[in-house]
Amino acid sequence: MFRSFFVMSFQSPIGVFDSGLGGLTVLKEMVKHLPDHDFIYLGDNARAPYGPRDFDTVYQYTLQAVQWLFDQGCPLVILACNTASAKALRTIQQKNLPLMDPSKRVLGVIRPTTEVIGDYTETNHIGILGTKGTVESCSYVIEIQKSFPDVTVYQQACPTWVELVESGEHLTPKAEEHVKPCLDALLGQCEGIDTILLGCTHYPLLLPVIRQLVNPAIQIISQGEIVAESLVFYLKRHPEMAGRLSKGKTLRFFTTGDVEQFGHAAGIFWGEAVSAGKAAL
């Protein structure tokens, strides 16, 4: 299938946002599930990580990113970032969207994940790994409780993992030093955990290290596919939105950070060269 990375004119792509590189793990699955659509990806690498930032800062940064993607013509924006979904999504949906453009939509990654995650566990004990911001928001605990009241959720913040990925060090032996203590702290909370959710879109890049350190009987779930399937279902239920999205099979990348560095890192992840543009939010 032909997919152009370079076509510059778009009508109405799907906007995908993350604090940095992590949202690529979601974008990849979305492109697989919606191969004809146009996508535009924005990473706020200059200001990543979002995890340690306070509520209002994450909200302000995310709002700027959503506005930027709207300005590029996106009728639909996916916050492919758990921290932004936990700290900014609801306020943007309820307060800002009606003033910005009530016909546009902003969706997150937490709700689609919590709607299905209970189906993966047999023991009803699920572990969540996330950023400090996501864990402190308790969004996963609250949302999973609504969909799966019998499931007990255990959380562990992994404060250094996003920077590890952003710096490319997730591919070095140093990664294990950062990963093991967090896994031990999570699994030490309950022997019955049979499912671990990677509740940060950066973490699937650490999956080879995580998998090596965790008992093979424990499932490790990444969100990309779950979120992509949920988006396909959303577009079926919302033909008025589906009809507004353009289908030119194009993909553009933008970063607030260093374009060369982003292009290189995204290229490794994507498996082919990626050229990124600079975004000023």
Cα separation values, 242 from 13, 45, 205, 250, Å:
11, 29, 30, 16
Minimum separation from the CB atom of position 36 to ligand DGL (A): 26
Active-site residue flag, 158:
no
Within 77-96, which residues bind ligand DGL (CB under 6 A)? 81-83
Spell 61-71 as b/e; 16+ CB within 10 A means b.
bbbbbbebbbe
The one catalytic residue among 74, 81, 158, 182: 81
Q: Is 200 a catalytic residue?
A: yes
- Is 178 a residue that touches ligand DGL (CB under 6 A)? no
Q: Does 131 bind ligand DGL (CB under 6 A)?
A: yes
Q: CA 263 to CA 190: how far, in whole Å?
A: 41
Q: Look-up: residue for tokens 């975004």? A: 279
Selection from 22, 87, 20 nearest residue 59 by Cα: 87
What 3-state class would DSSP assign to 218? coil
What minimum distance in Å lies between the beta carbon of 57 and ligand DGL?
Answer: 11
Distance CA 237, CA 252 (A): 26
The answer to whether residue 19 forms part of the interface with ligand DGL (CB under 6 A) is yes
Shortest reach from residue 133's CB to ligand DGL, in Å: 7
What is the nearest approach in angstroms of ligand DGL to the Cβ of residue 108? 10
Q: Quote the least distance from Cβ 1 to ligand DGL, whole Å.
A: 27
Q: Output the CA torsion sign for 161, 162, 163, 168.
A: positive
According to CB under 6 A, which residues from 41 to 80 bind ligand DGL? 48-51
| Catalytic one of 74, 158, 182, 200 | 200
CA distance 263 to 254: 9
Among 12, 113, 201, 230, binds ligand DGL (CB under 6 A): 201
Q: At what angle do helices 24-33 and 259-270 cross, to 10 degrees?
A: 50
Strand order in the sheet with 105-107: 105-107, 76-79, 14-18, 39-43, 251-255, 276-278
Binding mask 211-250 for ligand DGL (x = CB under 6 A): ----------------------------------------
Which of 12, 13, 14, 18 binds ligand DGL (CB under 6 A)? It is 18
Please tell me the distance from the alpha carbon of residue 114 to that of residue 118, in angstroms, as a whole number.
Answer: 7
Q: Annotate each residue in 152-171 with x if it binds ligand DGL (CB under 6 A) or - if it does not, as one string.
A: ----------x---------
Catalytic residue positions, numbered:
81, 200
Q: Which residues bind ligand DGL (CB under 6 A)?
A: 18-20, 22, 48-51, 81-83, 131, 134, 162, 200-202
